[in-house]
């Protein structure tokens, strides 16, 4: 039975007979009580374990009293910047301000500060010096150790230090937050809680974890913050170590030193949730919508993306270099049972706004419904290997039977007209399945006119840096998709997501991509320029010019004009891009693509036109002369 929204005011506390809350949760988003929002999950999990939780949503960071409205919590403040990193939420890759915020009532901007977790943490610390502060969510999770910050173009310290918090609960956090709550509730001081998986803490006393670097010790010193600031190669080395320590079964404790004698210590990640635990999380009494106080402001736009979608899994063994999922959710896929998902779907059909369409059934990668191989839940993922890159591991379990059965059950529910799949489809994994049933049913039942896929690029040199499959794999997928559509009598298109200026991409590779689009007959309406977000392999490549996986040098496009040229090449048919495309082709030594034949990307213009016409005229004269010579020879023979 649903028990309403959590307290957001003193009056709510009075109405419920609450004198003091156990936790006050400060969030950078509007309060949306839906399992697609991290603050809803963590607060409901704590509530299910008997703790009283209240929400302060988007407090006025210019007013210290804005975080006092629910009083002093008995155990701790919890802080999250929101469902997105606050800087990604605020700015385009060009660093221009976004015009709307989907996680704020009415889409309004300016309701949270830049670096929200840091600002909120300092706000709390000024008012409550003796109350534990725990930070979590995507912003804290991906900034938990020293990290490159694109917006300031600098290497920032661990967010634990800059926010003045006591601890980070990183990753998804359901296990760790309950263990933290129980430790605090038992009377253990926050600075003594150093033993919980999925947490980061700070200390000047590392005597409890001595023996770093020794074979018998499960701990490693990372390069110090000062070393990394002075040598970008050290930062790449540090990230390479971190990347190999993201698995809950094999990861070691990591420690990062600072000049004041402080250490930031990261414990291994929390263990993956079992199916029963995942079900429990998603079966909690969510209101499944935004707080009613936002109704007059137009509601919260972000709910529209998830209101009629179903989360089937979390975690991803895809390992794309530009994605932070390895650092946040991990590589081990965790799933909900069919029964849990069907219960949620049945509730969804009762919503008066439901029109019969389930918008998505998936997660980070829709067609992952079990771990990559049998050993992962016992031994963990391989620290020095990827499951799908550079090619599929021989141990991969490419099987979609469970997903097919789930989708069939959902299609058969009363009131459901159509079930779409809009999460990412990993096409190399799809092709590895020897049984074509899922591929066929995907095309027949689950595409809404267009299937969005993410090859990201077609140059193998760039794809290698992206951690993506080679072009030939994507080409095979395209052929099979088109063949299935023809067989089923459908006209459904592929919409490829493409990225410009990723590390490793020069103008040469950008031209390759433009030629591919020419032959494919497609010009994307939107192009994603590479965005260096915290804690991804690609961001470290961008910051250092080094691939942390192997230490090799990487070309990085940072010049804004060249970035514009690479992006323009992908949309070479747009007249507004003509000058940039022409300049790019000349700089790349590909003037052969400026002309009038079908292989050319753009036609000549101005002085170019006269030169090309002259060239074409000379070519035609030579051709006519050659033809005349051949005719004369034939005449003589006759």
Alpha helices in 75-173 (DSSP H): 86-90, 116-127, 137-142, 159-162
Q: Is the pLDDT of residue 613 over 60?
A: no
- Give the pLDDT of residue 246: 95
pLDDT tens figures, 214-246: 555 678 999 999 999 999 999 999 999 999 999
| Lowest-confidence pick of 80-89, 248-257, 275-284, 614-623 | 614-623
Tell me the pairing of strands 253-257 and 147-149.
unpaired
pLDDT, residue 630, reads 59
- For residues 172 and 150, give the distance between their C-alpha atoms in angstroms, rounded to a whole number: 24
Alpha helices in 269-361 (DSSP H): 275-282, 303-306, 325-328, 338-349
pLDDT computed for residue 212 by the predictor: 44
Q: E-assigned strands of 19-86?
A: 23-27, 32-33, 53-57, 76-80
Q: Which tokens in the block code for residue 53? A: 């939780």
| Average pLDDT over the chain, rounded to an integer | 93
> Using one digit for the tens of pLDDT, what is the confidence trace for 190-213?
999 999 999 999 999 988 775 444
Among candidate residues 451, 537, 432, the one with its CA nearest the CA of residue 497: 451
Measured distance CA(488)–CA(4) in Å, rounded: 47
d(CA 106, CA 90): 15
56 in Cβ contact with 70 (< 8 Å): yes
pLDDT tens track for 373-384: 989 988 999 988
- In this prediction, residue 245 carries a pLDDT of 95
The Cα 571–Cα 584 span in angstroms is 13
Q: Mean pLDDT throughout 597-626? A: 67
Q: What is the pLDDT of residues 472-501, one digit of tens each?
A: 999 999 999 999 999 999 999 999 999 999
Structure confidence at residue 571 (pLDDT): 95
How confident is the model at residue 625, as a pLDDT?
63
pLDDT higher than threshold 60 for residue 610: no
How much is the pLDDT for 59?
Answer: 98
CB 226 within 8 A of CB 259: yes
What one-character DSSP code corresponds to residue 546? B
CA angle (465, 466, 471) in 5-degree steps: 95
pLDDT tens track for 322-377: 999 999 999 999 999 999 999 999 999 999 999 999 999 999 999 999 999 989 98
Distance CA 509, CA 566 (A): 9
pLDDT in tens, 617-628: 554 555 556 556
| Cα separations in angstroms, 382 against 198, 614, 622 | 19, 61, 63
Confidence category of residue 612, pLDDT binned at 50, 70, 90:
low
Query: What is residue 377's predicted lDDT score, i.e. its pLDDT?
Result: 85
Averaged over 98-118, what is the pLDDT?
A: 97
In this prediction, residues 529-550 reach a mean pLDDT of: 97
Q: Quick check: 424 pLDDT over 70? A: yes
Instruction: Reply yes or no on whether the pLDDT at 32 is more than 50.
Output: yes
Q: What is the DSSP letter of 327?
A: H
Q: What is the pLDDT of residue 622?
A: 57
Task: Answer yes or no: are the C-beta atoms of 142 and 322 closer than 8 Å.
Answer: no
Q: How confident is the model at residue 2 (pLDDT cuts 50, 70, 90)?
A: very low
Q: Do 147 and 156 touch, CB atoms closer than 8 A? A: yes
What average pLDDT does the segment 571-600 reach? 96
Q: Can you tell me whether residue 621 is helix, strand or coil?
A: helix
Residue 88: pLDDT over 90: yes
Query: Over the stretch 111-134, which tens digit does the pLDDT of each residue have?
Result: 999 999 999 999 999 999 999 999
Cα–Cα nearest to 70, from 31, 108, 36, 96 = 31
Nearest to 565 by CA among 590, 542, 547: 590
Bridge-based pairing state of the strands 334-335 and 313-314: antiparallel
DSSP secondary structure code for residue 294 in this structure:
G
> Closest Cα to residue 511, out of 461, 443, 438?
461
Q: What is the pLDDT of residue 210?
A: 52
């Amino acid at each position: 039975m649903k028990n309403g929204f959590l307290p957001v005011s003193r009056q709510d506390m009075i109405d419920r007979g609450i004198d003091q809350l156990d936790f006050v949760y400060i969030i950078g988003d509007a309060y949306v009580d839906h399992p697609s929002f991290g603050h809803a999950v963590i607060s409901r999990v704590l509530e299910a374990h008997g703790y009283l939780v209240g929400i302060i949503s988007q407090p006025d960071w210019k007013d210290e009293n804005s975080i006092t409205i629910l009083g002093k919590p008995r155990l701790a403040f919890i802080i999250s910047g929101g469902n997105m990193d606050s800087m990604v939420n605020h700015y385009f890759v060009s660093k221009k301000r976004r015009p709307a915020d989907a996680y704020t009532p009415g889409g309004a901007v300016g309701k949270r500060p830049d670096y929200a977790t840091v600002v909120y943490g300092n706000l709390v610390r000024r008012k409550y010096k003796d109350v534990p502060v725990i930070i979590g969510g995507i912003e804290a999770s991906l900034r938990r150790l020293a990290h490159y910050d694109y917006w300031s173009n600098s290497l920032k310290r661990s967010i634990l230090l800059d926010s003045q918090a006591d601890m980070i609960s990183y990753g998804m956090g359901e296990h760790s937050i309950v263990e933290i709550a129980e430790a605090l509730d038992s009377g253990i001081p926050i600075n003594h809680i150093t033993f919980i998986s999925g947490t980061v803490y700070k200390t000047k006393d590392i005597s409890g974890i001595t023996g770093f670097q020794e074979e018998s010790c499960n701990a490693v010193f990372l390069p110090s913050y000062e070393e990394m600031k002075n040598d970008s190669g050290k930062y790449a080395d540090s990230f390479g170590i971190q990347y190999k320590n993201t698995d809950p079964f094999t990861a070691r404790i990591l420690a990062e030193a600072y000049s004041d004698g402080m250490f930031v210590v990261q414990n291994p990640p929390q263990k993956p949730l079992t199916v029963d635990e995942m079900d429990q999380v998603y079966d909690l009494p969510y209101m499944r919508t935004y707080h009613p106080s936002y109704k007059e402001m137009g509601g919260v736009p972000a709910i529209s993306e998830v209101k009629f979608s179903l989360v089937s899994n979390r975690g991803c063994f895809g390992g794309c270099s530009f994605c932070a999922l390895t650092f946040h959710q991990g590589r081990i896929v965790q799933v909900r049972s069919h029964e849990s998902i069907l219960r949620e779907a049945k509730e969804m059909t009762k919503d008066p706004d439901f029109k019969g369409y389930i918008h998505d059934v998936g997660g980070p990668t829709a067609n992952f419904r079990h771990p990559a191989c049998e050993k992962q839940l016992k031994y963990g993922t391989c620290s020095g290997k990827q499951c799908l890159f550079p090619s599929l591991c021989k141990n991969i379990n490419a099987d979609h039977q469970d997903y097919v059965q789930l989708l069939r059950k959902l299609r058969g529910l009363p009131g459901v007209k159509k079930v779409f799949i809009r999460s990412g489809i990993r096409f190399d994994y799809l092709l590895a399945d020897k049984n074509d049933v899922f591929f066929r049913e995907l095309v027949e039942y689950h595409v809404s006119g267009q299937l969005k896929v993410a090859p990201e690029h077609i140059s193998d040199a760039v794809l290698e840096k992206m951690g993506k499959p080679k072009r030939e794999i994507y080409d095979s997928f395209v052929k099979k998709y088109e063949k299935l559509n023809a067989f089923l009598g459908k006209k459904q298109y592929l919409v490829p997501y493409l990225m410009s200026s990723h590390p490793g991409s020069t103008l040469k590779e950008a031209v390759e991509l433009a030629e591919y689009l020419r032959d494919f007959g497609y010009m994307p309406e939107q192009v994603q320029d590479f965005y260096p977000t915290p804690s991804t392999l690609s961001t470290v490549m961008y910051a250092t010019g080094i691939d942390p996986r192997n230490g090799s040098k990487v070309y990085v496009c940072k010049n804004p004009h060249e970035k514009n040229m690479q992006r323009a090449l992908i949309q070479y048919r747009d007249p507004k891009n003509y000058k940039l495309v022409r300049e790019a082709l000349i700089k790349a030594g590909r003037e052969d693509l400026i002309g009038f034949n079908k292989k050319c990307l753009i036609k000549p213009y101005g002085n170019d036109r006269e030169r090309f016409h002259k060239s074409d005229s000379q070519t035609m004269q030579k051709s006519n002369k050659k033809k005349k010579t051949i005719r004369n020879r034939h005449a003589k023979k006759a």
